[in-house]
Amino acid sequence: MVKDRLAELQRLSSQSRGKSSSVIFNGTSVRLEDGFPVVSDALLDQEAWSDMDTFLANIENIRSKLDEMEALLKQLAEIHRTILISPASDPKYNAEMNEVVSNFKALTKSVSGFLSGLAEEVKRIGNQNDASSRIKKDQSRTLTRAFHNLLNDFNEEQLHYKSQCEKTIAKFLRISGVQLDEDQVDQAIEKGELFNTVSLLMGDREKKALYEDVKSRHDDIIKLEASIRELHEIFQDMAMLVESQGEILDRIDQNVQYATDYSKKALSNVNQAQQAQRRNMMLKFGILICGIITVIILFIVFSAAFCMYLPFVCR
């Protein structure tokens, strides 16, 4: 029988009135005043990372920056194509290229800082499985992978441009009569000494223009390699983070696949059970019909036999 606890609650309330105390609610200490919880302590005392509105606003901001980086990467590829097909070096395109690379690097550092903070938050969350924790973990994996892919695309674009510039330089050296193998050219480019030799200067105008164009390519390669070195550490950090998250994703995918297989097997078993049930019902129904028919036949046979041997009864 349920006990009436109203009197006890009233007594406790009167004892606590005018006093401050605290209780534990959902793992959080909540202060009581006059027997009632203080809302600000129970609901509003949260860190910025725990505020989902702030978190989602930060996520939206970083997605916007990733979109900017993607647009800059497309712009850089277009500038590279324009430079490579131009008959002569144009300072305007080189300035545009340098500006795009500079903006891309600035965004890279900004996004990297955010994702590092997000990774620390995910590490702090650990094995918590509430809704907000799952959202943060999913967003961390998604954004980190997208950022890593952008850095990888940027690196590939820069290396492709470097390769094309080196081909232009090799062509110029052949025209100039300078015999250098690929390793010597790379070493000279790294040291910045390839075009310090006065003998490479050609007297005629076309060769001088070609020299200026190739000299510009050489300078581009030096700047390009500097930018790659500058972003290399960030790229490595993101690669390691993606790899560690990839193992988690692989385990999740594997578990999902197992669950899917089990679900399909269970569904198949259910279908087989339903079919067996229908077969059993049909079999039972058939047996019942056969039994009824048998009873009717036996009744007719016995009736005929009875009338044959006792005809006076059937009259």
CATH number, position 142: 1.20.58.70
Co-location of 39 and 54 in the same domain = no
Question: What's the order of all strands across the beta sheet hosting 28-33?
Answer: 20-25, 28-33, 36-37
79-88, 105-114, 158-167, 178-187: which has the highest mean pLDDT?
Answer: 105-114
Write down the pLDDT at residue 73. 92
Question: pLDDT tens digit string along 171-196?
Answer: 776 766 666 666 666 665 555 555 44
Q: Is residue 298 part of a domain?
A: no
Mean pLDDT computed over every residue of the chain: 69
Of 197, 213, 235, which residue constitutes the final position of a domain?
A: 235
93 and 222 together in one domain: yes
In a domain, 259, yes or no: no
Q: Are residue 125 and residue 67 in the same domain, yes or no?
A: yes
- For the ranges 20-24, 120-124, 311-315, the maximum mean pLDDT occurs at 120-124
For residue 127, tell me if it sits in a domain.
yes
In a domain, residue 85? The reply is yes
Q: State whether 163 and 20 are in the same domain.
A: no
Q: Whole domain around residue 21: which residue ranges?
A: 6-44
- Looking at the structure, do residues 57 and 170 belong to the same domain, yes or no? yes
Q: Answer yes or no: are the C-beta atoms of 213 and 169 closer than 8 Å.
A: no
One domain for residues 210 and 100:
yes
Q: Are residues 37 and 159 both part of a single domain? A: no
The model carries a pTM of 0.52
282 domain residue, yes or no: no
* Each residue's pLDDT tens digit, 105-126: 889 888 888 888 888 887 887 7
Q: Give the rounded distance of the alpha carbon of 230 from its chain centre.
A: 25
**Total count of domains within the chain:** 2
The span from the CA of 274 to the CA of 36, in Å, is: 56
